[in-house]
């Protein structure tokens, strides 16, 4: 930009210099003053000829030569100048606009500031009122929930008190009906229950704390429940199932322990049902529960245990029915074996439910009379009618308890079997027509005892 501004100035200097050097040579001595007709200052031919006299004129000023780089720098200087001008202009505009906006904001605040403050205050008051209303509603709901909870606690307390009274009555009944050796536990539990029952009634009447009462009642009931559980276990361990009054206990395994049973009458039949209750002391490979032997076949009928399975054989071990996982140590179980020579249908029933059945078991066979019935052992090849001493295999001896042994010369239906299998009730009142528990003659031998 500076080079372009100097260019006219240089041209002007060159022109002035050329005129100053040419004037003294041409007009210093040849100028004539004429006052004639040259009013209009016209040039004559002589003047023109004289003016054409060749003189040495100076060389004119030459313009500087610019390269492409000079031009490029010149353009950059021009663009930089324009940019600075635009930036300055933009800064001026922004400053003016900001001042205008500030003035307008000040005017707006001066005009509407009071209205905004009042609106903000009213909004804050409304929000506070709404919050207070919600808090009040929440408190009311909480009070209602507390009232419902208190009512439920009162109802639960009444139920617990009623249950405590019922338990006291039941404990009294148990005390009157159980064995004498259990009377001490029952009396202690009943007195414990009655004492805390009266204490809770007194605390309730005097307005005692509900939570404390409930916690005390719960702990007391838990303690009573534990005592009742222990007492029930000990009682059931010595009680006989299905209302039976008597039972047999086989205290140990020995070669002499057995029970002989005399049938009510001689029988010869092609159908049979044998039922009994048994509680096993130890699970072993083979244990004989019931056996019927004759002179011709020592294995006419057998009901045996093999581990936890029950096996029923008719006319020898080749014809059998098996029910697996039927017995457990230390638990009473009711077993029934049913057989009919017609089609050889045989089945085993466990606790009133059919557990196994099989056709073709000794089909067409007939049971002979005048045999011997043993409980807890078998004669096998040492049948007494052959004149041998009553010697048994100790490995087959039963150990545990047995009761409710009955035998029929017919097939019992499912209803009759399930009625005998009830733990409570009067199942022992149903007696067989061949062997009847409590009526048929039984002879415990070899340390087997009859318990009451």
The domains of the chain are located at 150-239, 247-451
Query: 200: Cβ–Cβ under 8 A, 6 or more apart, which residues?
Result: 157, 160, 161, 164, 213, 216, 217
CA 420, CA 332: separation in Å to the nearest integer?
13
Q: DSSP code of 394?
A: G
| Residue 259 host element (H or E) | strand 258-262
- What does the pLDDT look like over 280-332, one tens digit per residue? 988 888 899 999 988 888 889 999 999 899 999 998 866 789 999 999 998 99
CA 149, CA 355: separation in Å to the nearest integer?
51
Whether the CB-CB separation of 406 and 436 falls below 8 Å is answered with yes
Whether the CB-CB separation of 383 and 293 falls below 8 Å is answered with yes
Residues in the chain: 452
Q: What stretches in the chain show pLDDT beneath 70?
A: 1-64, 113, 172-215, 217, 229-238, 317-318, 381-391
Residue 118, phi then psi, degrees to nearest 5:
-65, -40
Burial of 308 (0-12, 13-18, 19+ CB in 10 A): middle
- What does the pLDDT look like over 71-112, one tens digit per residue? 888 888 888 888 888 888 888 888 888 888 888 888 887 877
Q: Listing from the earlier edge strand, what are the strands of the sheet with 247-250?
A: 353-358, 345-350, 332-340, 271-280, 400-408, 247-250, 449-451
* CATH code linked to domain 247-451: 2.60.120.200
Strands 400-408 and 309-314: unpaired
Maximum CA extent, the chain: 207
pTM passes above 0.75: no
């Amino acid at each position: 930009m500076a080079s372009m501004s100097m260019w006219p100035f240089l041209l002007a200097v060159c022109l002035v210099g050329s005129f100053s050097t040419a004037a003294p040579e041409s007009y210093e001595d040849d100028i004539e003053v004429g006052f004639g007709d040259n009013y209009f200052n016209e040039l004559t031919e002589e003047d023109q000829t004289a003016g054409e006299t060749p003189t040495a004129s100076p060389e004119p000023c030459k313009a500087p030569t610019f390269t492409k780089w000079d031009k490029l720098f010149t353009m950059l200087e021009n663009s930089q100048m324009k940019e600075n001008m635009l930036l300055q202009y933009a800064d001026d505009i922004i400053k003016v606009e900001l001042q205008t906006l500030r003035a307008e904001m000040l005017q707006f605040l001066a005009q509407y500031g009071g209205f905004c403050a009042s609106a903000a205050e009213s909004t804050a008051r409304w929000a506070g009122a709404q919050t207070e209303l919600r808090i009040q509603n929440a408190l009311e709901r909480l009070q209602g929930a507390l009232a419902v909870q208190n009512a439920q606690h009162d109802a639960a307390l009444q139920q617990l008190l009623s249950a405590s009274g019922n338990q006291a009555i039941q404990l009294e009944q148990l005390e009157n009906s159980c064995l004498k050796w259990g009377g001490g536990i029952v009396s202690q539990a009943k007195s414990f229950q009655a004492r805390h029952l009266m204490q809770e009634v007194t605390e309730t009447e005097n307005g005692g704390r509900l939570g404390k009462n409930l916690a005390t009642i719960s702990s007391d009931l838990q303690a009573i429940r534990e005592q009742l559980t222990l007492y029930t276990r000990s009682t059931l361990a010595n009680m006989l199932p299905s209302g039976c009054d008597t039972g047999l206990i086989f205290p140990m395994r020995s070669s002499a322990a057995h029970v002989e049973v005399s049938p009510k009458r001689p029988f010869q039949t092609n159908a049979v049902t044998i039922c009994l209750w048994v509680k096993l002391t130890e699970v072993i490979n083979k244990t004989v529960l019931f056996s019927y032997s004759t002179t011709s076949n020592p294995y006419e009928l057998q009901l045996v245990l093999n581990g936890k399975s029950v096996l029923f054989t008719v006319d020898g071990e080749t014809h059998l029915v098996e029910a697996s996982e039927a017995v457990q140590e230390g638990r009473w179980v009711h077993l029934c074996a049913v057989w009919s020579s017609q089609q050889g249908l045989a089945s085993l029933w466990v606790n009133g439910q059919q557990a196994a059945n099989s056709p073709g078991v000794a089909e067409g066979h007939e049971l002979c009379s005048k045999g011997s019935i043993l409980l807890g052992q078998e004669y096998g090849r040492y049948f007494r009618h052959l004149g041998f001493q009553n010697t048994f295999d100790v490995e087959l001896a039963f150990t545990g308890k047995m009761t409710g042994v009955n035998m029929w010369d017919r097939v019992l239906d499912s209803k009759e079997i399930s009625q005998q299998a009830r733990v409570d009730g009067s199942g022992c009142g149903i007696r067989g027509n061949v062997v009847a528990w409590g009526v048929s003659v039984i002879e415990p031998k070899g340390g087997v005892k009859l318990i009451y």
